[in-house]
Amino acid sequence: MTNLPKEWRFLRSGWIYAFVLTGQSSGATEMVSKALQGVAARNDLVSSRRRKRLFFATLFREGHKFPRHSESAEEKYTTLASLHQIQEPGRSALALLHLRLFDPDQIAVIIAKTEKELPAILTAAREEFSKLEAPLP
């Protein structure tokens, strides 16, 4: 993915986010592929910022269609698999915040919440994450 044009380099982060949502590498790959096809087919997305935001919003919506399942992941995906256990919308808000692709107002739009609700959502997600058995290696 390093050979991608600059405006499409968010795809790697998109796969990571999709893995957090699905808990499965195959599900993440499938979701990213479908979302990318949908975004690429749109002629009205002239700015890369809107394209990226729609791509992640699509992943957020599609992530709810996958059964909640966390596969035993490789060691490098342990933290991501732990994030999968957090309830929505906190899981998405926390993952998107740490990917550093969006400002808080855009994260709120992606997860279909208001910017005022975001701090409480993030606080609850961080608390939930800290209670998990093996949060960070």
Per-domain boundaries in the chain: 6-130
**Distance between CA 18 and CA 27 in Å, rounded?**
8
Look up the CATH superfamily of 6-130. PhyR, sigma-like (SL) domain (1.20.140.160)
pLDDT mean across residues, the chain: 84
**Distances in whole angstroms, Cα of residue 114 to Cα of each of 49, 85, 102, 107, 121:** 19, 23, 15, 9, 10
pTM confidence score: 0.78
Write the pLDDT tens digit of every residue in 98-110: 999 999 999 999 9
Write the pLDDT tens digit of every residue in 3-26: 767 777 888 899 999 988 888 888
